Amino acid sequence: MVHGIAALEKKLAAMPKRVEHATRKAMEKGAEELCQMMRRLVPVDSGDLKASISWTWGEAPKGALVLAESEPTERGLKITVYTTDWKARWVEFGTVKMSAQPFFFPSWRSLRKRIKSRIVREQRKAIRFVGPVTQSEA
């Protein structure tokens, strides 16, 4: 008879929730880091565009301009970075009378590898974690 099967089954049952929890935290940290960098790079005229950059789980609010969004997973994890200022496109790409002052794409290009690496690293840590099953993982 093999000993410890019940403990192994309990650990394997908790693993998806543990990995999801770690993924959520890493995604939140990455989205906030991206928003902070965009707020630093955006040109400040009245401050409306800077204040309107944010992120949310799921879909962006109605009328918001989606800057970036992740593909939803089978468990429904989807994060959206958005702005509610209608001038964001004009600032990012420019117009005939105004030169472009990009803030989104430079931020995304500089942080995308870091964000992805953080998510993968946290998922791996959650898979390898050895310890008691917490209340939220049960």
pLDDT tens digits along 21-62: 888 899 999 999 999 999 999 988 878 889 999 999 989 999
pLDDT at 15 over 90: no
Per-residue model confidence (pLDDT) at position 5: 76
* Contacting residues for 6 by C-beta, under 8 A, at least 6 apart: none
Domain boundaries defined on the chain: 10-127
Q: What is the pLDDT of residue 46?
A: 77
Cβ–Cβ under 8 Å, residues 69 and 62: no
Res 130 pLDDT > 70: no
First to last CA, the chain: 26
Question: What pLDDT is attached to residue 112?
Answer: 93
Mean pLDDT over all residues of the chain? Answer: 85
Residue 134 has what pLDDT?
61
pLDDT at residue 8 in the model: 66
Whether residue 122 is predicted with pLDDT greater than 90 in this model: the reply is: yes
Residue whose structure tokens are 């880091």: 33
CA 100 – CA 117 distance, rounded (Å): 30
